[in-house]
Structure 1
Amino acid sequence: MSLEARLAPQEKLITMANQIARFMESKPHAEAREGLASHINDFWEPRMRRHLFEMLDAGGAGLRPLVLDAAPLIRRPGT
């Protein structure tokens, strides 16, 4: 069983967001921030973004700094 298959849903989202952040961190900060937000906006379904914002609203524990910096650019889904 893969590591992702064993992680809880919240941990999976943290892992996914951090993987995107690690990839983007090689770019200039503004470009990385926009690229991370754009990727999440384009490819994450509203339910995933809702859970991400729940984690961000609770302090963002475990998320890389770039994810926290990009949060204002990520579309918050309606409830």
Structure 2
Amino acid sequence: MAATVPPEQRMANQIAAHFRHVPAGAAAEAVAGHIRRFWDPRMRGRLLQLVHRGADGLDPVVLAAARLLEQPQQAPAG
């Protein structure tokens, strides 16, 4: 029986694929920003659990984005 890929992993990898044309650091920021804006907090939590468990098949940009998601957000200046 083939293992199924969790939806959060599949979607995060798809988002990362959309940013292949961007340098890795900027791509990670874009992926993290997308996930912050559009994903439910429970989905973000499940993605971070996958990252911490070392799930196979996570795009390196997703791993970098997860590190950004774990950092406290700074309030915009102004």
| TM bin (shorter chain) | 0.7 to 0.9
- Cα deviation code 1:22-59 (max 9, x no counterpart): 01121122211110000001111100011011101101
Q: Is 1:64 aligned to residue 74 of structure 2?
A: no
What TM-score, normalized to structure 1? Answer: 0.76
Q: Is 1:17 aligned to residue 22 of structure 2?
A: no
Higher helix share: 1
What is the match of residue 26 of structure 2?
A: 31
Determine which structure has more spread, i.e. the larger CA radius of gyration: 2
CA shift for structure 1 position 75: 4.6
Q: Is 1:45 aligned to residue 15 of structure 2?
A: no
Gaps of 5+ in 1: 1-7
> Over aligned residues, Cα RMSD in angstroms?
1.7
Matched length: 68
- Output the CA distance in 2 between the equivalents of 1:29 and 1:53: 19
* Residue identity (%): 41
What TM-score, normalized to structure 2? Answer: 0.77
Gaps of 5+ in 2: 72-78
